[in-house]
């Protein structure tokens, strides 16, 4: 899996930037949380990463939201960690066409 994050706002250590655990891909148990490395960048920056690396976000200690657009490429033969179709309302699934349903693997 390949993931991406497009930063709408600046990502800083203070506003909950996405954090990665270097070298954690393929591990069943993540290393110590003290190993977290925030991925900081300016608005408009893009992070492209191996989706099997342990990642999450830090705490937002500011009064401002930290926004992003995120996505991932997952081979059809693999299982996603998230079922997007299960998070959609039935009326939404009824409205989308067959190609969209195929992409969601409904």
pTM: 0.74
Give the model's pLDDT for residue 30.
65
Q: Cα(100)–Cα(40) distance, rounded to whole angstroms?
A: 33
Per the CB < 8 A criterion, the answer to whether 8 and 70 are in contact is no
Per-residue pLDDT of the chain (106 residues; tens, 9 = 90+): 899 999 999 999 999 999 998 888 877 776 666 678 999 999 999 999 998 888 888 899 999 999 999 998 888 787 777 777 788 888 988 999 989 888 876 4
* Domain boundary assignment for the chain: 2-73, 77-106
Query: Given this model, what pLDDT does residue 26 score?
Result: 77
Distance from C-alpha of 72 to C-alpha of 39, rounded to nearest angstrom: 17
What does the pLDDT read at residue 32?
A: 66
pLDDT, residue 16, reads 93
């Amino acid at each position: 899996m390949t993931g991406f994050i497009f930063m709408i706002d600046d990502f800083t250590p203070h506003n909950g930037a996405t954090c990665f655990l270097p070298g954690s891909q393929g591990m069943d148990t993540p290393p110590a949380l003290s190993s977290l490395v925030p991925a900081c960048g300016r608005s408009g920056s893009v992070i492209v990463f191996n989706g099997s690396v342990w990642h999450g976000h830090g705490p937002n200690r500011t009064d401002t939201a930290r926004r992003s657009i995120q996505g991932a490429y997952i081979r059809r033969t693999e299982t996603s960690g998230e079922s997007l179709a299960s998070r959609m309302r039935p009326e939404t699934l009824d409205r989308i066409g067959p190609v969209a349903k195929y992409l969601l693997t409904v």
